[in-house]
Amino acid sequence: MGENENERGNSAYGRKPFRRSPSHFTDRITANGAEGWPVEAGRYRLIASRACPWASRAVIARRLLGLEDALSLGIADPLQDDRSWRFTLDPDGRDPVLGIRFLSQAYDARASEYPGGVSVPAVVDVPSGQLVTNDYQQLTLDLATEWTALHRPGAPDLYPAALRAEMDQLMATIGRDLNNGVYKAGFATEQADYERACRALFQCWEQVSQRLAGRRYLMGDTITEADIRLFTTLVRFDVVYHGHFKCNRWKLAEDPVLWAYARDLFQTPGFGDTVDFDHIKRHYYQVHTGINPTRIVALGPDLADWLTPHHREELGGRPFGDGTPPGPVPPGEEASAAGRP
């Protein structure tokens, strides 16, 4: 989930290994509303940060499934303060739909006390202004399986029933050792903890690279949720994780398979058009002051390399299965000009 006040690499960590706070609000929005929140077009607002890999999963899934008209999107400033994610990118510093200045206001409207801080992605009930869920693990799966009545024609099946057992196991390994592994290495305060996390990360890296050497996507010929989860870590790797988090055994650009795979996805509608490298770099380098007290933002790498040929199409495959690519990014949802190659 998005960094909160307990995830900024400061002295609050003490000398304990990094532990990601679990999602506290785990309500689900389902087709039949059995858990209290029914799928309903226009009722909910997805709050995300383009800096956060966990939130970016939801932004990509929403684009691929064509839920833009059904589930509105609010983007928080990549730079937080002690009052949590803020809407200073919007006119008057307020989210134009919810009318709030800080995401914490939606959390406070739901509960007076809650552990784990204020995180993204978050889904807010627009009529009440209350947080519904910050369960980043379940959110995207529900978008794929519970919101089907509101999917665009030609939406891909991101969580195929026949593949779920294998997908769940693969995503759990990638989640533990790669998605979260970069944080365990980056926020380590003991050498042994850092080395343990870094070794596990690159062991998983090698396994994933081998898996992708002969197949275009993690589960075969089509894009699934597993690819979304891997992509959001890979797209940040050389930009921030390699240097800022000391995950520097090698760069993404030094792995021919994973670098080509990441570029293939980046150039696929719904992936790269959601990425904002400016937000990513400013957030990591300027919010994690315990790691980077000078708050200096690194200049590189050259973003134009993301648009170079990848040749993964030679492996065949159908990115959207029997479906079609999503349409253009809706007006007003484009990444910033500074954050695009």
The answer to whether 85 is a known ligand-binding residue is yes
- Catalytic site includes residue 114: no
C-alpha closest to that of 273 among 226, 179, 336 = 336
CB 212 within 8 A of CB 310: no
Angle at 20 between CA 17 and CA 26, to 5 degrees: 155
- Catalytic site includes residue 247: no
Q: Which residues pair with 233 in a beta bridge?
A: none
Q: Exposure string (b/e) for 249-287, b if CB count within 10 Å is 16 or more?
A: eeebbebeebbbbbbbbbbbbbbbbbbbbbbbbbbbbbb
Catalytic entry in 44, 136, 159, 183: 183
Q: In whole angstroms, give the CA distance from residue 3 to residue 37.
A: 26
Tokens of 33: 């509303």
Q: Which residues pair with 44 in a beta bridge?
A: 125
Residue listed under structure tokens 């406070």 = 108
Contacts of 83 (CB under 8 A, 6+ apart): 102, 104
As to burial, measured by CB atoms within 10 angstroms (0-12 exposed, 13-18 middle, 19+ buried), residue 59 is: buried
Catalytic entry in 44, 52, 136, 261: 52
Q: In whole angstroms, give the CA distance from residue 323 to residue 236.
A: 28
Residues involved in catalysis: 52, 183
Bind-site residues for glutathione = 85
Bind-site residues = 85
